[in-house]
């Protein structure tokens, strides 16, 4: 997650044009600032537009994390998730998301669906973890421990419909 994005920023994002495989970037606003050269305040105010622009320009998927998460595709589609909690703004939580996305894609799920499900699942796990813990003590492992409960909720009819509606 962070190390890969930092390396990409150091190399220059133009290298994205040279790759052959599917690429998914999962930056938070600060990391995206380094990648794009845009000001943080501009990114926050224009989250959807900057995610889509970058995704289309470089032919990659972008999962841009802020208080909302924008999922942009190389074809210019965008999905917005409002799941999650400010307590998730801690080190390691983005690595949990990267792991979820990698696992779903690795199982053969189409990338776009894997990103939508993964972001929704990650946010829901964060909400469940915050209910069990206090927002000040929440850590990445708490999200991992909440994943089974989050999966069960998504499998229920109510959350399946919410997933379709929100994404």
Longest pairwise C-alpha distance within the chain = 45
pLDDT at 157: 65
Question: What DSSP state is assigned to residue 17?
Answer: G
Q: 157-163 long-range contacts, Cβ below 8 Å, gap at least 24? A: 159/124, 163/116, 163/117, 163/120
- Mark whether 41 and 115 lie in a shared domain: no
Among 25, 48, 81, the domain boundary falls at 81
pLDDT at 159: 61
Cα(30)–Cα(6) distance, rounded to whole angstroms? 11
- Mark whether 15 and 67 lie in a shared domain: yes
Among 81, 116, 148, the domain boundary falls at 81
Q: Looking at per-residue confidence, does 106 or 16 come out higher?
A: 106
pLDDT at 155: 84
Among 42, 61, 81, the domain boundary falls at 81
In tens, the pLDDT along 19-40 reads 888 999 999 999 999 999 999 9
Whether 14 shows a pLDDT value over 90: the answer reads no
Say which residues have a Cβ less than 8 Å from residue 17's Cβ, sequence separation at least 6: 58, 59
Say which residues have a Cβ less than 8 Å from residue 18's Cβ, sequence separation at least 6: none
- Mark whether 91 and 156 lie in a shared domain: yes
In tens, the pLDDT along 38-84 reads 999 999 999 999 999 999 999 999 999 999 999 999 999 999 998 99
- Mark whether 132 and 163 lie in a shared domain: yes
Domain tally for the chain? 2
- Mark whether 97 and 75 lie in a shared domain: no
- Mark whether 91 and 49 lie in a shared domain: no
pTM of this structure = 0.89
**β partners of residue 70:** 64, 80
- Mark whether 49 and 94 lie in a shared domain: no
- Mark whether 51 and 93 lie in a shared domain: no
Q: What is the mean pLDDT of residues 121-131?
A: 95
Q: Which domain holds residue 14?
A: 1-81
In tens, the pLDDT along 90-117 reads 999 999 999 999 999 999 999 999 999 9
- Mark whether 111 and 74 lie in a shared domain: no
- Mark whether 75 and 18 lie in a shared domain: yes
Phi and psi of 63, rounded to 5°?
Answer: -110, 95
pLDDT at 20: 85
- Mark whether 76 and 27 lie in a shared domain: yes
């Amino acid at each position: 997650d962070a190390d890969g994005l930092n390396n990409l920023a150091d190399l220059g994002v133009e290298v994205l044009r040279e790759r052959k495989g599917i690429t998914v970037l999962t930056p938070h606003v600060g990391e995206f600032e380094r990648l794009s050269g845009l000001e943080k305040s501009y990114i926050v105010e224009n989250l959807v537009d900057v995610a889509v622009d970058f995704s289309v320009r470089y032919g990659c998927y972008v999962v841009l994390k802020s208080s909302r998460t924008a999922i942009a595709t190389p074809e210019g589609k965008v999905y917005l998730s409002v799941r999650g909690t400010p307590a998730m703004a801690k080190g390691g939580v983005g690595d949990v998301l990267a792991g979820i996305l990698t696992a779903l894609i690795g199982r053969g799920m189409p990338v776009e669906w894997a990103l939508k499900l993964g972001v929704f699942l990650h946010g829901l796990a964060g909400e469940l973890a915050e209910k069990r813990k206090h927002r000040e003590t929440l850590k990445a492992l708490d999200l991992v421990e909440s994943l089974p409960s989050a999966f069960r909720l998504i499998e229920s009819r109510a959350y399946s419909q919410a997933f379709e509606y929100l994404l």
